[in-house]
Structure 1
Amino acid sequence: MREKKITREVFEFLLRLCEQSESRVSWNTLSETHGDIIGDVLASGFLKQGPNRNTVLCLTADDEFDVPVERDGTTGRFQYFHPEAGFRPVNPDQLRQYDLGLERFITLIAAGIGVPASQRVELLLEDLLWDLGDVQITRRTIPIFFVRRLDAPGNYERVHDALGEIGGRTGGLVMTSSRRLNRHIDVPGGHRIVQAITCMKRDSRYFEVDRAALSNFLGFPVPREGFSSDFRTAIINGESYRFTKKQAAVIEYLHQAGTPVHKNLLLAQAADTDQKNVIDLFRGGGKNHPAWGTLIRHDNRGHYWLEY
């Protein structure tokens, strides 16, 4: 299932939540601290209903402390006992908590990097380390891992040992949700540890991985971006593409249009072909062209455009 786009701001919030021990947030925190994005956060689908809180904060003239919540035996409503004012009602919203769906969130990151959907994310250490799979970066196959709470006591040692037991996959990236990364730490296998937030495109409103940044982290040369004069080759977001003459005509037409184009117009004016569907031009040998679904995007109404 392809996830719908989420904004960079929502992604950064989820990434911070990923660093918390239980990856849990209360309704109060969401509404009071992140009120401007609460709708987008909940609509993203990455939060699931967690257990209700069983205490609330009680404020007195001289102190503040947590007190237990109970149900009124007559009305069934939530309440707590205030030492100065007796029983007070509790809004059920105050008790709500949400948990981050870690597996789904990690899968989003894997898809954003370009790991094929056919590769399933593998859990290596419970709630700590995941193997996202292998991805092609500048024509090289690179293993990608994700770790959370790397700076929590004992976690680095566990991750170090787990990666040391993996054979045959070296020179990859270990992405982490941590924002406090000791630059002197390293892991076996020649893998490089990078903060996930630094792998995001800075100028995009949405969550998008900067593949040129990944190349840079790996020490690979970053090729010049753009299209060749005949549109037969392209380097977009660090990825190299080659096109046939008819494919290049479609790419050039979409590039010049700058907006979604209907397939009928695209096939008639750009490709000079009898094909009925655009995908037929970008499919061969039983698989789609690497640009399909990444550089070339479409909706369910027959419109196509380029996404850089």
Structure 2
Amino acid sequence: MRPQPALARNAGELVLALLEQRQPAVAGSVLTDLDPDIRLQLRSSGCLQRTSVRQSIQIVDEAGTAAVDLQWLDAHQRYGLFDAADGWVIPDPEEITLYRLDTAWWLAWLTAELDLVNAGRPIELVADHAWDLGDFRVSRKQVVPLLFARRLRAPDVRAQFATALARRAGRSGGVILTSTRRVIETLKLPGAHCLMPVAESLTADAARFRLDAALIQGLYLGQPPDAAPMPVLDLSPDGMTLTIHGDVLHFRGAVQRAIVKQLVEAHRSGKRLRTGAVLAKAGSSADSLVKAFSGSPHWPTLSRHLRQEQGCCWFEP
């Protein structure tokens, strides 16, 4: 199936986020929280493949958040869990379904989007992480190899990628696009390669996810682009409007604005914050960010750009 020539901006951002996961998978419950149009486009495009079912779910009770294993119930022909108060609870099958991003679909999308030449079947350089897609035209008379790599933050991926590039006799140099948003400046790769995050190679179109071929050409050739790219993350002076990759989010509540302001300031200085400290400083009585933003129509979008791990939280737009 030939991919659509353009994705909605939000849909494309989610695809990039999935590509940065070790296993590019997403639960049906996450898709359910998306804008219906985005969810429909992701499913109809063919980029997601149904793979399996989650074996546990997160529940919130008086004791806090806990993971509960699901059991197969022959009587219902579905997975469920037992609750002392409610008896057997049967989750929506769609919410516990797991989908995997089809990387072949993504590579075909890139090939079509950039109108690559000499592009047959992608050549895998690092298993499930890096590919040679063909040639990209940087000028009327010059074409260069175009590669795509994901998860370049991972040391093992970087090492394997560097080794693979060093072995490419007769096909060195070119453009390397990556789903990793902030490429490590100290990353040294053999050959004359120009490394570009996909997120920084997009057009300024806030509605559609499109790559700016002219921008990529200019960066490769060392020429300044005609127009500055859209800011990745921007917060209005009053703290009420947050823009992330063209998504405009409005927050009226003082607590939510205070949380967002802390996260934006930390992002600008490259810091991670303790989630508990963020909530306390904002004057929130909630014990998690999801509860602090309960009822906000912008939480699904905001959460896609938030990372939480080991009690810390930070923006990763």
TM-score bucket of the superposed structures, by smaller chain = 0.5 to 0.7
Matches within 5 A, 1:149-188: 149-188=151-190
Aligned to 1:218, the other structure's residue is in SS state helix
Matches within 5 A, 1:1-308: 2-5=2-5, 6-35=7-36, 37-116=38-117, 118-138=119-139, 139-203=141-205, 205-221=207-223
Cα 1:77–1:184 shift into 2, 3 Å: closer
For the residue of structure 1 that corresponds to 2:43, the secondary structure is helix
Structure 1, unpaired ranges of 5+: 225-308
Amino acid of the structure 1 residue aligned with 2:170: G
- Provide the rounded CA distance (Å) in 1 between the counterparts of 2:26 and 2:225: 42
SS of the aligned residue for 1:130 comes to: strand
For residue 121 of structure 2, what is the amino acid of its counterpart? R
Partner AA of 1:4 in structure 2: Q
AA at the equivalent of 1:184: T
Shift of 1:200: 2.0
Decide whether aligned partners of structure 1 residues 73 and 136 sit closer, same or farther in structure 2, where only a CA change above 3 A counts.
closer
Secondary structure, counterpart of 1:12 in structure 2 = helix
- Give the drift of 1:36: 5.4
Post-superposition offset of 1:111: 2.0
Please state how far the C-alpha of 1:42 moved relative to its aligned partner. 1.4
| Structure-2 separation of matches of 1:168 and 1:117 | 15
TM-score by length of structure 1 reads: 0.66
State how far apart, in whole Å, the 2-side matches of 1:73 and 1:2 are: 40
The RMSD of aligned alpha carbons is: 2.4
Which secondary structure state, in structure 2, belongs to the residue aligned with residue 71 of structure 1?
Answer: strand
Question: What residue ranges of structure 2 are gaps of 5+ in the alignment?
Answer: 227-317
Query: Contact 1:186 / 1:193 at 8 angstroms: preserved in 2?
Result: no
Secondary structure (helix, strand or coil) at the match of 1:154 reads helix
1:162–1:7 Cα change, 3 Å: same
**TM-aligned CA deviation for residue 109 of structure 1:** 0.7
Q: 1:222 to 1:169 in 2, by over 3 A?
A: farther
Question: What is the one-letter code of the residue matched to 1:16?
Answer: A
Quote the Cα distance in structure 1 between the aligned partners of 2:78 and 2:52. Answer: 17
CA drift at 1:216: 1.8
Q: Partner amino acid for 1:110?
A: T
CA contact (8 A) 2:173 2:192 kept: yes
Q: Which has the higher contact order (CA 8 A, sep 6+)?
A: 2
- The aligned length equals 225
TM-score (norm 2): 0.65
Q: 1:34 to 1:149 in 2, by over 3 A?
A: farther
Asked whether the equivalents of residues 194 and 220 of structure 2 are also in contact (C-alpha less than 8 Å), the reply is: yes
Amino acid in the other structure paired with 2:53: N
Q: Deviations over 1:243-278 (max 9, x none)?
A: xxxxxxxxxxxxxxxxxxxxxxxxxxxxxxxxxxxx
Please state how far the C-alpha of 1:114 moved relative to its aligned partner.
1.8
Give the letter aligned to residue 98 of structure 1.
Y
The Cα shift of 1:172 comes to 0.6
Deviations 1:1-60 (A, max 9, x none): 642232233222211111111110111111225555212221221111121111122333
- Conserved? CA contact 1:114–1:135, under 8 Å: yes
Structure 2 vs 1, CA of residues 147 and 118 (structure 1 numbering), >3 Å: closer, same or farther? closer
Residues 128-152 of structure 1 show CA distances to partners (whole Å, capped at 9, x for unaligned) of: 1100111222121201110000002
Q: Deviations over 1:80-133 (max 9, x none)?
A: 022554432222122112110001111211221221375321111111110011
SS of 1:39's partner is helix
What is the alpha-carbon distance in structure 2 between the residues aligned to residue 205 and residue 59 of structure 1? 35
